[in-house]
Amino acid sequence: METTKEVNFKELLEIIIKKWWLILLLTVIGFGTAYIYTVKYVTPVYEANTVLYIGQEGGSLGSIDVSLGQLNANSQLLVDYKQIASTRLVINEVIKNLGLNISYDEFKDNVIIESVLDSRLFTVGFRHSDPQIAKQIADELAKQLTVAVLQIVGVENIRILDQALVPQAPISPNVLLNAVIGGLLGFFISLFVIILMFLINDTIRNDEDIENLIGVAVLGDIPEFKGEAR
């Protein structure tokens, strides 16, 4: 006769509480392992950004006469400049000038160009494992962008306002977040192990287990007597 084990959630909860040390142990191990792995084996990534300004053709940086139409035009220019910054003309020139050992596709994947909200400013950034190299590439990329815009568009309307600073802290990885994720993983693994052990444990502990096993009610118990040893 085939029988299935019914899950007694109260009993399962009691076992989970009794195994608190296992849960704590695996949680700490998961947290520590993820922390150590992130610190020692995950390469940090730094991002450096150079700030540029979109002005009027032939205008000065001090010109602040801005209309809504000009802002819309500048937004379109920014889209164009983003595309120009991603061309081989610009990127290959940066790679050559800095003597970088990097492919065009890898370089392009690490370029970050973002606009500054409600302004004619935008940033040209680069991500690299070496903060000094990230700064050099961001500055050179901004420089070559201004040169390419003059050559392609025929106007000189962008200026470099602030050169990039050497980043002091990496943007990734997030050591604490990875460690917390590792701790949660250890926590859930411990619960899985405890529940699995509970489900595969066929030990008969009480009358209810006998009834569930053979499908017949237990009529009585034979008491156990402990006699004196002679």
Task: List, for residues 116-143, the tens digit of each pLDDT value.
Answer: 877 788 999 999 999 999 999 999 999 9
| Residues 56 and 36 occupy one common structural domain | no
pTM of the model: 0.71
Same domain, 84 and 128: yes
pLDDT tens digits along 151-172: 887 877 889 999 999 999 999 9
Residue 187 lies in a domain: yes
Determine which of 85-89, 136-140, 166-170, 210-214 has the lowest per-residue pLDDT on average.
210-214
Same domain, 188 and 142: no
Compute the distance between CA of residue 44 and CA of residue 133 in angstroms, rounded to an integer: 13
Q: Are residues 107 and 206 in the same domain?
A: no
Has residue 34 been placed in a domain? yes
Q: In what order do the strands lie in the sheet with 111-115?
A: 111-115, 121-128, 46-54, 158-162
- Chain CA centroid to CA 108, Å: 20
Asked if the structure places residue 224 within a domain, the reply is no
Domain containing 111 equals: 46-162
| Band (60; pLDDT cuts 50, 70, 90) | very low
Number of domains in the chain: 2
> How many degrees, rounded to 5, is the angle at CA 109 between CA 138 and CA 157?
45
